[in-house]
């Protein structure tokens, strides 16, 4: 049976979530989160190692649909499909195969590590690649929508190869 590699590549985020208390929230609200460094936030969060900010039990990794694309390669590594995720959503080809969830938390600090690369990969076997069988899993985190995984005929994607493009911070809306 023919073998296909499905890759979702582009830009996205790796978001680490940290619980904060009222005092920390007030201090973070007075800090210019758009122009601060890890050490500033780590100090308020009372962390010994600022790299703890980019590690948490609650992590969301995903692609922005407007800055990503699906590429499908056959077993000879020839491209058989290439389309932006945004166009796929607008064409409604995959609209029935989309899972969606929302995440809104109280008292959270979000550490947003912007990422770039091949965020998800998926190896499948099928007679022919059929885009209508590709399923997108979307997660909205405090108003930011990410494609957090893809699947094809029930086979779930693995994380691909991506790298950091810079870190920002934001607080939960409530």
The reported pLDDT for the residue numbered 94 is 61
Residue 174 above 70 pLDDT? no
- pTM higher than 0.85 for the full model? yes
The answer to which of 24-28, 83-87, 91-95, 103-107 has the lowest mean pLDDT is 91-95
Q: What is the mean pLDDT of residues 14-34?
A: 92
Residue 95 above 60 pLDDT? no
Q: Which two tokens stand for residue 173?
A: 């809306």
Tell me how far apart the alpha carbons of residues 138 and 173 are, in angstroms, rounded to a whole number. 20
The reported pLDDT for the residue numbered 93 is 61
Place of tokens 């590594």: 77
What is the per-residue pLDDT across 38-65, written as a single tens digit (0 to 9) for each?
Answer: 899 999 999 988 888 888 888 999 999 9
Share of the chain above pLDDT 90, in %: 68
Share of the chain above pLDDT 70, in %: 96
Tell me how far apart the alpha carbons of residues 48 and 141 are, in angstroms, rounded to a whole number. 27
The highest-confidence range among 97-101, 105-109, 113-117, 169-173, by mean pLDDT, is 113-117
The reported pLDDT for the residue numbered 57 is 83
The reported pLDDT for the residue numbered 152 is 93
Do 87 and 75 meet the contact criterion of CB atoms below 8 Å apart?
Answer: no
The reported pLDDT for the residue numbered 79 is 96
Query: 85 — phi, psi (to 5°)?
Result: -65, -35
Per DSSP, 46 falls in state T
Q: What is the largest CA-CA distance in the chain?
A: 59
Q: Tell me the pairing of strands 155-156 and 158-171.
A: unpaired
Q: Which two tokens stand for residue 166?
A: 């810079």
Mean pLDDT, the chain, rounded, equals 90
Q: Which two tokens stand for residue 9?
A: 């590549």
Residue 97 above 70 pLDDT? no
Q: Which two tokens stand for residue 44?
A: 């308020």
Q: What is the mean pLDDT of residues 102-130?
A: 92
Q: How many CA atoms within 13 Å lie on the side-chain side of 38? A: 14
């Amino acid at each position: 049976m023919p073998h296909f590699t499905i890759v979702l590549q582009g830009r996205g985020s790796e978001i680490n979530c940290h619980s904060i208390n009222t005092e920390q929230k007030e201090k973070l609200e007075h800090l210019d989160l758009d122009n601060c460094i890890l050490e500033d936030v780590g100090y308020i969060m009372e962390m010994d190692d600022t790299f703890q900010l980019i590690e948490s039990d609650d992590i969301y990794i995903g692609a922005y649909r407007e800055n990503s694309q699906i590429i499908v390669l056959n077993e000879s590594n020839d491209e058989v499909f290439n389309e932006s995720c945004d166009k796929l959503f607008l064409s409604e080809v995959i609209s029935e195969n989309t899972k969606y969830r929302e995440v809104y938390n109280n008292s959270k600090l979000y550490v947003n590590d912007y990422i770039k690369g091949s965020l998800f990969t998926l190896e499948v076997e099928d007679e022919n690649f059929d885009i209508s069988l590709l399923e997108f899993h979307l997660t909205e985190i405090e108003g930011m929508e990410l494609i957090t995984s893809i699947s094809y005929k029930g086979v779930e994607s693995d994380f691909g190869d991506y790298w950091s493009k810079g870190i920002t911070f934001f607080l939960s809306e409530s």
